Amino acid sequence: MSMPEQSWKLSVAPMIDVTDRHCRFFHRLLAPHARLYTEMITTGALTHGDIHRHLDFNEQEHPVALQLGGSEPEALSQAARLGAQWGYDEINLNCGCPSERVQKGAFGACLMAEPKLVADCVKAMQDVVSIPVTVKHRLGLDYNDDYGFVRDFVGTIYDTGCRIFVVHARNAVLKGLTPKDNRDIPPLRYADAAKLKQDFPEATIVLNGGLSGVEDCSQALETFDGVMLGRAPWHNPGILSELSAAFWPNESVMQEDALIDQLVAYAASQIERDTPLRIVVRPLLGLFNGRPRSRLWRRMLSDSKLLNANDPNLIRRAWSEIGGYAPLDTFKTEPLVTRSHSD
């Protein structure tokens, strides 16, 4: 297998309970060159949980990154080694999640208060893998908006040899705000994020936070090496096709009928593996947002009675209801490969 393009120009953020392997397969169809991230997976989940369930992914997802949550160098090195063995293209350390559950585990955003520990964690992972080890972080903690805090944090990690930093351009408020509030209430500070690129010109600095369209993403690329979108592709997946067309204009975007064919075939392959259709279609609900009758698409793919039949052609039927016309008898299931460490 040839190595995937090592580019961070466009990424889809790791999102808990969102960016599972079904969501990532869907996003790959929309954005052939985007870098996709897993949900945050804790080191404990890999030590004590079902490794296959957490790490298996589809070959078509490349380039795909494994995001880890943890704060113990030895545990992170073991998890990173597993990720590399499974075939991931990048190991990313979460230093930005503000949830109480993560704080109780002493990792996520609260790690920004301990840059030397983060450096030890990064170094421990670098020592056991040859793929990039990267860090996703905030600009600061609570209400401290001193740029020097994040500059020193990045500088300490930079000294390990880490060169890729994904910067969520807000602070993380550890007490009093929910994770959702932390995505909206702390002000965006793009200027301070841009200072990181000035102070670390050899680093790859990816901007995350508040980005939702082609115009603002294109503008960000004038300063940063890449952009990462989170909730925007979840609520409006079509933005990934728009960004792909804008960033890679010489490559054609998958046509709608071909997209539906791929989604039906994928759903059929997953149903054969005892994955319920309702789980596979969950990322698809916002696909036609803004189109006439899009509510019908969402309603059909949310109808428990229809979903319980586990018929992959429900996707095609819902599409036909909003203007798609591919006949059902053209459908043929093609097996899709799921990659595991044993491949």
Q: Which domains does the chain have, with CATH numbers?
A: 10-247 (3.20.20.70), 256-339 (1.20.120.1460)
- Give 10-residue mean pLDDT values along the chain (343 residues): 67 96 98 97 91 93 97 97 98 91 73 97 98 98 96 98 98 89 93 98 98 97 98 95 96 92 98 97 95 94 98 97 60 38 36
Q: Which residue has the tokens 């996709």?
A: 36
- Residue 69 near residue 105, CB atoms below 8 Å: yes
Neighbours of 30 (CB within 10 A): 21
Residues in the chain, how many? 343
Per-residue pLDDT tens over the stretch 113-132: 999 999 999 999 999 999 99
| Measured distance CA(5)–CA(64) in Å, rounded | 11
Write down the pLDDT at residue 21: 97
Q: What is the pTM (predicted TM-score) of this model?
A: 0.91
Closest of 56, 53, 63, 55 to residue 1, by C-alpha = 63
pLDDT digits (tens, 9 = 90+) for 213-254: 999 999 999 999 999 999 999 999 999 999 999 999 999 889
97 part of the active site? yes
pLDDT score, position 5: 54
Spatial separation of the C-alpha atoms in residues 285 and 299, rounded to whole Å: 9
Q: Which of 73, 53, 67, 54 is nearest to 95 (CA)?
A: 67
CA distance 298 to 282: 9
Please tell me the distance from the alpha carbon of residue 186 to that of residue 163, in angstroms, as a whole number. Answer: 26
Q: Which residues contact 258 (CB under 8 A, 6 or more apart)?
A: none
> Which residue among 97, 110, 121, 162 is the active-site one?
97
Report the DSSP pairing between strands 338-339 and 57-58. antiparallel
